[in-house]
Amino acid sequence: MFVEKIKIDNMKLSISSTFDAGNIEVINAENPKNVQLKIRKDTNSDFLQWFYFRVQGAKDQACTLHLTNAGEAAYPDGWENYQARASYDRVNWFQIPTKYVNGVLTMDLTPECDAIYIAYFAPFSYEQHLDLVNNAQQSPLCELETIGQTTQGRPIDFLRIGDGDPSKKKLWVIARQHPGESMAEWFMLGLVDRLLDEEDATSVSLLSKANLYLIPNMNIDGSILGNLRVNAKGINFNREWAEPSIENSPEVYYAKEKMREIGMDFCLDVHGDEALPYVFLSGIEGIPSFDEKLSQLSSRFMTEWKSASPDMQDVHGYPKNEPGKANLMIGSKNIGEEFHCLSQTLEMPFKQNDNIPDGIVGWSAERSIKLGESLVSTVLNIVDDL
Ligand SMILES: [Zn+2]
């Protein structure tokens, strides 16, 4: 018996995004060589940049996809030298080249399977988030607490790692205020897994001196909605820290309440940057109470992190604030001022680390995980002075 697979000509493409973190609008997918798409705006907001969709029915067929409104993105510089991420199994993500011309982002691809997923960066889904916190809670070192509810009624998950001894240092790490920056939660996965590894002498040593307080995803609703920067109400959390509200930004409100209840000696707020192809920190030089101690801690933190991971660098980054000119609505600056402690924003690239580029996957989930792991040794080297 011989069965021949018959190639069906003119098979129509099916493009979908009705899944966790999905984002795309189809204008016209009749012709695989000229597929016209649009990035959907964030919920109740004009921001747009995150996309994540499935193309089905184009196996072995050359396709050209146009994101026609890429020029209206929050950070159009993000498209220069950018490569999209694609996957057949949503586990292994690789780069596909793009061209950005006259406000349109174009990608050419010939899928090897019936369905291919295309995203702005390797997604970190809500199911993966639940796996992260549910796996963590099974360690005797970790407790999972709900500190409030999002505006769409989901629990805001908070992890305590350590023995809770109040005389130890109190270290906070929060991530993904901006939901499209999924590398931030990959970072948290690496950090949490290393902290809970009881065979890791660095983690054991750090936990002998400190407790860690972690919010792995500050913006659950926005993540599920497929937003770049805001929650379901259209609020950018990283401009809410001066006056958070239960109504519009409960994640920030309850995080800040918890920080006041527990106290803080260190905070890292984890993000991704659309434009700069480097890992970097943004500091608190511009807060009113910045002093010699915070200055020295900031430099030591950078020196230690560079030595723990060559992905960290301080040549490229945002311009430093002038003294007293920091925007205290921003999380790390507001926290640094209120708790008078070392408080920094970490930025990872959507593109590459140009210092150590990877042509196949670009900056990736795996690199973000390893950077998260490297925070443990970095902080161990400065914890006594925090
Ligand atoms: Zn951000």
Compute, in angstroms, the gap from residue 174 CA to the centroid of ligand 1. 12
- 61 and 111 in contact (C-beta within 8 Å)? yes
Distance 346 CA to ligand 1 centre (A): 9
Concerning whether 4 is annotated as a catalytic residue, the answer is: no
Radius of gyration of the CA atoms of the chain, in A: 22
pLDDT range class, residue 3, cuts 50, 70, 90:
low
What separation in Å is there between the alpha carbon of 98 and the centre of ligand 1?
23
* 136-154 residue pLDDT tens: 999 999 999 999 999 999 9
pLDDT tens for 223-243 read 999 999 999 999 999 999 999
Average pLDDT on 167-177 reads 98
Rounded to the nearest angstrom, the distance between the alpha carbon of 273 and the centre of ligand 1 is 6
pTM equals: 0.96
Nearest CA-CA partner of 215 in 269, 290, 289, 285: 269
> How many angstroms is it from 178 CA to the middle of ligand 1?
5
Rounded to the nearest whole angstrom, what is the distance from the C-alpha of residue 269 to the centroid of ligand 1? 9
Decide: 60 and 89 in contact? Cβ < 8 Å: no
**What are the pLDDT digits (tens) for 263-276?**
999 999 999 999 99
Between the CA of 353 and the centroid of ligand 1 the distance, in Å, is: 17
Mean of pLDDT values over 21-48: 97
Q: Is the pLDDT of residue 155 over 60?
A: yes
CA of 196 to the centre of ligand 1 (A): 26
Residue 5 pLDDT grade (very low, low, confident, very high; cuts 50, 70, 90):
low
The whole-angstrom separation of Cα 132 and Cα 290 is 35
Of these residues, 181, 274, 347, 373, which one is catalytic? Answer: 347
Phi, psi values for residue 254, rounded to 5°:
-75, -30
Whole-number pLDDT of residue 9: 54
pLDDT at 12: 80
Helix (H, G, I), strand (E, B) or coil at 252: helix
Residue 7 has pLDDT above 60, yes or no: no
- In angstroms, rounded to a whole number, what is the distance separating the alpha carbons of residues 39 and 99? 16
With the C-alpha atoms ordered 337, 341, 342, 347, is the resulting torsion angle positive or negative? Answer: negative
What average pLDDT does this structure show over 23-49?
A: 97
* Mean pLDDT, all residues of the chain: 96
Residue 89 has pLDDT above 60, yes or no: yes
pLDDT digits (tens, 9 = 90+) for 303-322: 999 999 999 999 999 999 99
- Cα gap 299→211, rounded to integer Å: 23
Paired strand residues for 266 = 171, 342
